Amino acid sequence: MPATDPSSWPWHHVNSPLERWRAMPSFVVGEHLFIALALLSLWHATRQGEQRNRHLLAWTAAILAGTANDLIFMALPLVDNFWQAQATWMLTARMPLYIPCVYVCFMYLPTVTAWRLGLPWWARAPASGLLAIAFYAPYDVVGAKFLWWTWHDTDAPIAARLLGVPIGSTIWVVIFVATFAAIVGRVTDAEPSVKPRTFVVGVALVAALTTLMMMLQMAPLQQLDGGVPGVRGLITLLTFYAALSVAGLRRASVEGPRPGDRALFAGLGVYFTALTLIMALAAPERHRSESVHQTYGACHVEARDLAGHVRYAFLCAADFDEDFSFACAPPPPDGSRWYAVCGKPHARFGEMMGGTAALTSLGAALYALALLGRRRWHRLSSAP
């Protein structure tokens, strides 16, 4: 079967859960966890009484804008640097069904959680971005380690990594969700009841502007690290957003609990616990991802992305530095895009386990304070 021809790729819209479990057991847990959490978020939105349309706008805009963002990223050579594993439920050869659910989770949940804090408009968006990365960071660590997706081996914007995660991915999440929250907030502040026409306009604005505005913000930030995402840009972004969020908390109005908030936090608790247990108990060397990956070919063939950064056009078995191998499958023929890669055993388990546990604990604490302890947080932030 010629793996160079996309029409011949052996993918299916529905794959056997048992077969997927044998190949990638942690991924089966992960994909269904996100689907369940997205459905819980939809239930939560419908429970909000007079704020129902406001929450449904955030949920709908998240799934549409997020899916559009992924499709745009796949189409642009500048950012086409990631490839998803084959899940139980697939929309296309490169997009599992759970990916739109991931967008719902890390866009809807932080946005409505920030609403609960009663922040002024200028602090809600940065707080949403910080809550988003608190949710997303442990997923990024676990997913990359267990081959839920693979990255381009030499792409400059994702070369700098922490715990195996590109710093560019972290910066993108913070800015993308902050931008999304700012646009949704402008719409809902102008018309809190969100009538049908406003709902449609709001979804259209979010889908059309979120990715574009995110890219415009990332470009100057990357100049702090020589034109690519790096540590200086990340620290600058987090510091600035944290300062705005803390300043906003000092002017926050206290909002009482809303229907479904405790159930939403319970779902978040399951999510953070599951990721921690996957890192602790799952064996990455038991994972085998046969899917679309970076084009395989000759070593050291240079190419340039749209920003002019030099990278190698192909992945080659003799020279790559990713957290997978070809131990369970032979390297594919040159030009192949569909082939199998194999997970590697932990080389620094203590570091990965400690990092994951720290990130999930931080995420759980922040969401607990925001969703369940708003009055206490408000008192602390108001103290002289």
Q: What single string gives the DSSP state of each residue in 140-180?
A: HHHHHHTTSEEE-SS-GGGTSEETTEEHHHHHHHHHHHHHH
**Confidence class for position 255, pLDDT limits 50, 70, 90:** low
**pLDDT tens, residue by residue, 262-298:** 999 999 999 999 999 999 999 999 999 999 999 999 9
Across 161-172, average pLDDT:
95
- How far is it, in rounded angstroms, from Cα 337 to Cα 74? 14
Pick the closest to residue 272 from 349, 351, 359 (CA basis): 359
Is residue 30 very low, low, confident or very high in pLDDT (cuts 50, 70, 90)?
very high
pLDDT mean over 204-220:
90
Residue 65 has pLDDT above 70, yes or no: yes
Q: What does pTM read for this prediction?
A: 0.93
Nearest residue to 118 (alpha-carbon basis) of 249, 14, 25 = 249
Domain locations along the chain: 10-285+348-382
pLDDT at 72: 79
Identify the pLDDT of residue 256: 61
Report the pLDDT value the prediction gives residue 381, as an integer from 0 to 100. 47
Determine the Cα–Cα distance for residues 291 and 311; give it in Å rounded to an integer: 22
Q: For residue 1, what pLDDT is reported?
A: 43
- Band of residue 250 on the pLDDT scale cut at 50, 70, 90: confident
Helices (H) and strands (E) in the chain, counts: 11, 9
Residue 382 reports pLDDT greater than 60: no
Check: CB of residue 311 under 8 Å from CB of residue 157.
Answer: no
Tens digits of residue pLDDT in 106-156: 999 999 999 999 899 999 999 999 999 999 999 999 999 999 999 999 998
Sheet strands side by side (includes 324-325)? 288-292, 338-343, 324-325
Question: Which residues, in sequence order, are bridge partners of residue 290?
Answer: 340
Cβ–Cβ < 8 Å for 248, 122: yes
Q: What is the spatial distance between Cα 195 and Cα 187, in angstroms, rounded to a whole number?
A: 11
